[in-house]
Amino acid sequence: MNIKNYTSTVPSMLSSAAIEALLVEAGATAVSKWYAEKSLVGFMFEIPVGAARLVFRLPANEELVYKLMLSKLGKANPSTEKRISIRAQAARTAWRTLHEWVQLQVAMIQLQQVEALQVFLPFNYSQDTGATFYDSVKTGNVKLLA
C-alpha cells in the first residue's frame, strides 16, 4: 500500500502530543483538544493575528483513513480482528501524517517562508457557524470569485 505513514508504529497520543507542542511553536497562545465517542478528533487553537485572536480547528480524520485502508485491502468482508487492526493502524497513520504536516508547516513559519495565518487559514474556525473557513468556501457560504 502506497500511503504515507501506512506502517507507522508511533502511538496516536505521542503524535498528538508532538502536534500540540508544534502549535505552540507556531504561535498558538491556547490549545485544546476535542473528542468524539471518547476518541481524540483534533485540536482547536488560538493564534494572535494583529489585534485579533483567531481560532483554528485542525482535525485528524481517522475514519476516512480507515475507509481508505479498507478499500485498498481488496477483500469484500475482512474479519472483525482484521478490521480492528486496520482501525488501529488508521489512527496511527492519520495522527502521524498530521504531525509531519504540522512539523513542516512550522519549519516554514520559522524560516519566514510563510506566516502562520497563510498555513492555517483554511482551518480558521467560526464559533458562530461551527464551520471552518474551508467549510464555508466549499459550501458556497463564502464567495472568493464573482
Residue 124 belongs to what domain range?
Answer: 12-138
Nearest to 47 by CA among 137, 119, 117: 117
Compute CA distances 36 → 41, 61, 83, 119, 137, whole Å: 6, 11, 20, 25, 25
- Each residue of 14-62: pLDDT tens digit? 999 999 999 999 999 999 999 998 899 999 999 999 999 999 999 999 9
SS3 (DSSP) at 91: helix
- Each residue of 65-118: pLDDT tens digit? 999 999 888 777 889 999 999 999 999 999 999 999 999 999 999 999 999 999
List all residues 6 or more positions away from 44 whose beta carbon is below 8 Å from its beta carbon. 31, 32, 33, 34, 55, 56, 57, 58, 125
Residue 35 included in any domain: yes
Question: How many domains does the structure of the chain reveal?
Answer: 1
Distance CA 7, CA 111 (A): 30
SS3 (DSSP) at 146: coil
Confidence (pTM): 0.90
Residue 121 included in any domain: yes
Residue 5 included in any domain: no
